[in-house]
Structure 1
Amino acid sequence: MTSLDDLPLRDDLRGRTPYGAPQKSVPVALNVNENTHPIPEDVAIDIVGRIARAIPGVNRYPDREFTGLRNALADYLGHGITSDQIWAANGSNEVLQHVLQAFGGPGRALLGFAPTYSMYPLLAAGTGTGWIAADRDADFEITPSTAAAAIREHDPDIVFLCSPNNPTGTPLSLDTISAAYDAASGVVVVDEAYAEFAPAGTPSALTLLEGRPRLLVSRTMSKAFAFAGVRLGYLAADPAVTDALRLVRLPYHLSALTQAAAEGALAHSAEMLAMVDEIRIQRDRIVAELTTLGYEAYRSSANFVLFGGVDDPGAVFEELLGQGILIRDVGIPHTLRVTAGTEAETSAFLAAIAVLAPVARPASRIDA
């Protein structure tokens, strides 16, 4: 059989592995930070109706500028954001890919603070952009001085700041984002995929957009909106940024059905986001109970919890999987990550991990 070694693959892609997370059919899947709550029935009915109305027109190309969706996204975000500041694509990964295609490329570099979202270096590699992994402070935090110092040292063309950070859940202060922007000569992207799960009243980087034309704030409908299967990500930025992204997008990249479904979900945003409060409760419950068990749960503003003090993550992962509970080994020594699911799913995980608690070592903070 032909292998990758037999193909004329780009040299910089040889030896790399694609993004992947275990995809297994289990009763309790808490490994990829999905919103495990079902979409409310009345919302689903409305979305299906909108898709049905779009079907007769699918012999024609969709609205290339996804005008209705941009208006709906701008209304949802608020903060005085207008539709000409909105960009969207098939998931926030494609949004970030567009950013790298427009502002990265051969001879240019992307800087992030590791450990962080594993797709960042993969997206960089796919666009021929260099990847720079800067260090975090203790407990996976980033202070303004740490961010500014790394950016001044490397002078990257693009900076990605994940807020809250995946896979650690660590929140990022507006002071750190401002310091990063002031230190950067290129674009700064704040990836707010999990922003809706932050404690109520937490300010968004959206509040920093005015007067900062190189600042981009990325969001997704996959998490809080329980829309992972639809694939809709978006960002808000200066209108000049959206003009730049038009130069690299594929023609008609958002299907008419995707646009209809997303507009339907946004029309019910209050109802769709009502489940966020319940997810926060389960996240905080996980933190409290894991701590009681002797594990070390790191502070999280996302819909998942990273916990340390695990002597053998692989063994714990397999033991839980054997009980039909799938979580995630993200490769950080002595840690595992679990998504906050429904109350029943969370209870199943906590009951199973409690039996394994003797595996936990005495809690000790991990420096990144």
Structure 2
Amino acid sequence: MTFSLDDLPIREDLRGMKPYGAPQAALPVALNVNENTHPVPAEVAGDILDAVALALQDVNRYPDREFTGLREAFAGYLGHGLTRENIWAGNGSNEVLQHVLQAFAGPGRTAFSFAPTYSMYPLLTRGTGAQWIAGSRDHDYTVTPESAAAQIAEVQPDVVFLCAPNNPTGTPMSLEVIEAAYEASPGIVIVDEAYQEFAPRDTASAITLLPGRERLAVSRTMSKAFAFAGARVGYLAADPALIDALRLVRLPYHLSALTQAAATAALAHADVMLGMVDEIVAQRDRISATVEALGYRAHESWTNFVLFGGVDDPAATWQALYDRGVLIRDIGIPHHLRVTAGTEAETSAFLDALASLESGV
């Protein structure tokens, strides 16, 4: 006898929900989930292996529950006078965001963001029993301070997610918008800066807004700029009081000794790891210019991907690229597709494949 979810006593608010699931396929060029497609440099990989080997000597013991060394390393990387007391981390930034929701949302509470935005926000929200409320963006996917404040004041959410720059559109968000959102919000405001390292170098981070704002948090990830997606490490900066709240909901020893060792070793080589960012940005801008030349519309992007519109049939275009060995993402925005900026060779393969569709090759 075969059973389905409907045969189980699952929570009613989870019935009908779909899990997150970007396609995973063994294609020559995979540019669909915004990974850093560059491998970890050999000299850094060697130090990471040494650190993990050393950690293995004590793997029979529980790891440092407070992951003190890693928090100090993150504080040093972020700067701005932060200390380890301002830092939290988890197995990917999704777990960090889940901790925030577990502590400040939950049944009878609400979480909010401006759609379209990162698809995990509503999934994480509903998974913690809270209600998801979607606001709106302008036609170019921007949000003004006035609009942000008005929408948040009307909804009065317990948690506000601000994806800056935004996924899946790549749109930047100004500090003025973040300040307006914070002032209008009665609850926690979390700025998701997963792609901050790909923004222009002179762009100020929301971390500069933390002093005096005990309800503000800024999350980051090592998955993108640090080419560490497989290691699953995300982190957050906030007032120490907010960090204390997250301790109430985390699982004991949630970061393994091996994860702590690998991430700390990688952070020690931040300059080398981030050396890939300039090349990725160059390929991103190359994609934008070329898809425009092919007759599509590339939206402004401060990330490692490009959302482009003017696609008559996104499903057909996606399939045609797939058939040519190139995997990109249909994120559900009508007449749009999204592609990650990969290496120069991967970018060329995508652009050549896209151009071949236009020529009928």
Task: Answer whether TM exceeds 0.5 for this pair.
Answer: yes
- TM-score, normalising length: structure 1: 0.97
- TM-score, normalising length: structure 2: 0.99
Q: Deviations for 1:20-46, whole angstroms, at most 9, x for unmatched residues?
A: 000000110000000000110010000
Question: Which residue is 1:43 aligned to?
Answer: 44
Q: Measure how far apart 1:355 and its partner are.
A: 2.0
Q: Measure how far apart 1:199 and its partner are.
A: 1.2
Question: Which residue is 1:166 aligned to?
Answer: 167
Q: Measure how far apart 1:56 and its partner are.
A: 1.2
Q: Deviations for 1:200-246, whole angstroms, at most 9, x for unmatched residues?
A: 11110001001111000000000000000000000000000110000
Question: Which residue is 1:210 aligned to?
Answer: 211
Question: Which residue is 2:7 aligned to?
Answer: 6
Question: Which residue is 2:66 aligned to?
Answer: 65
Equivalent position SS for 1:159 = strand
Asked if structure 2 preserves the Cα contact closer than 8 Å seen for 1:29 and 1:326, the reply is yes
Asked if structure 2 preserves the Cα contact closer than 8 Å seen for 1:311 and 1:334, the reply is yes
Equivalences for residues 201-350 of structure 1 within 5 A: 201-350=202-351
Quote the Cα distance in structure 2 between the aligned partners of 1:50 and 1:358. Answer: 51
Question: Which residue is 1:179 aligned to?
Answer: 180
> Which residue identity lines up with residue 99 of structure 1 in the other structure?
V
Q: Measure how far apart 1:358 and its partner are.
A: 7.0
Unaligned stretches of 5+ in structure 1?
A: 360-368
Quote the Cα distance in structure 1 between the aligned partners of 2:57 and 2:38. Answer: 31
Asked if structure 2 preserves the Cα contact closer than 8 Å seen for 1:95 and 1:234, the reply is yes
C-alpha distance 358-307 of structure 1, shift in aligned 2 (>3 A): farther
Question: Which residue is 1:362 aligned to?
Answer: none
Quote the Cα distance in structure 1 between the aligned partners of 2:30 and 2:213. Answer: 40
Asked if structure 2 preserves the Cα contact closer than 8 Å seen for 1:294 and 1:357, the reply is no
Equivalent position SS for 1:356 = helix
Unaligned stretches of 5+ in structure 2?
A: none
Quote the Cα distance in structure 1 between the aligned partners of 2:29 and 2:265. Answer: 28
What is the alpha-carbon root mean square deviation over aligned residues?
0.8
Equivalent position SS for 2:229 = coil
Question: Which residue is 1:30 aligned to?
Answer: 31
Q: Deviations for 1:242-290, whole angstroms, at most 9, x for unmatched residues?
A: 1000000000000000000000100000000000000000000111111
Equivalent position SS for 1:306 = strand
Quote the Cα distance in structure 2 between the aligned partners of 1:36 and 1:198. Answer: 18
Question: Which residue is 1:78 aligned to?
Answer: 79
> Which residue identity lines up with residue 159 of structure 1 in the other structure?
V
Q: Measure how far apart 1:2 and its partner are.
A: 1.1
Asked if structure 2 preserves the Cα contact closer than 8 Å seen for 1:137 and 1:146, the reply is no
Quote the Cα distance in structure 2 between the aligned partners of 1:357 and 1:191. Answer: 36
Aligned residue pair count: 359
C-alpha distance 78-71 of structure 1, shift in aligned 2 (>3 A): same
Flag as ranges the 4+ runs of structure 1 deviating above 3 A. none
Q: Deviations for 1:134-186, whole angstroms, at most 9, x for unmatched residues?
A: 01012100110110010001000010000110000000000000000011110
> Quick one: percent identity of the two aligned structures?
70
